[in-house]
Chains A and B, each alone.
Chain A
Amino acid sequence: MFFAMLFVIWAWAVSVASPEGFEQVQSIMDGIIGKVIAIGTLSALIYHTLGGIRHVVMDMGHWEELESGNLSAKVIIALWVILTIVLGVVLW
Chain B
Amino acid sequence: MVTSQADVKRNGVQDYVSLRTTAAIIFAFSVFMAWFFISTDNITFIEWHGLFSGILMKVFTLATLVSIMIHVRIGLWQVLTDYVKSTKIRVVVQWVLNLIAFAYVLVGLFVLWGV
Contacts and interface: CB of A to CB of B under 8 A. Distances in A.
A40 interface: no
Nearest to B46: A19
A13 B113 CA distance: 11
Nearest to A8: B104
B92 to A, nearest CB: 16
A56 B20 contact: yes
B14 to A, nearest CB: 15
Contacts of B108: 9, 13
A17 B114 contact: yes
Given A5-B68, A56-B20, A91 B97 contact: no
Query: What size tier do the contact residues of chain B reach?
Result: 20 to 34
Contacts of A6: 100
Interface residues of A, number: 20
B104 A45 contact: no
Nearest to B16: A59
Q: Which of B30, B37, B111 has the most CB of A within 10 A?
A: B111
B74 interface: no
A2 B101 CA distance: 8
A52 interface: yes
A17 B48 contact: no
A47 interface: no
B38 A90 contact: yes
B23 interface: yes
Interface string A43-57: 001000100100010
- Top 6 nearest A-B pairs by Cβ distance? A22-B45, A19-B45, A13-B111, A9-B104, A52-B23, A16-B52
Interface of A: 2, 5-6, 9, 12-13, 15-17, 19, 22-23, 45, 49, 52, 56, 59, 87, 90-91
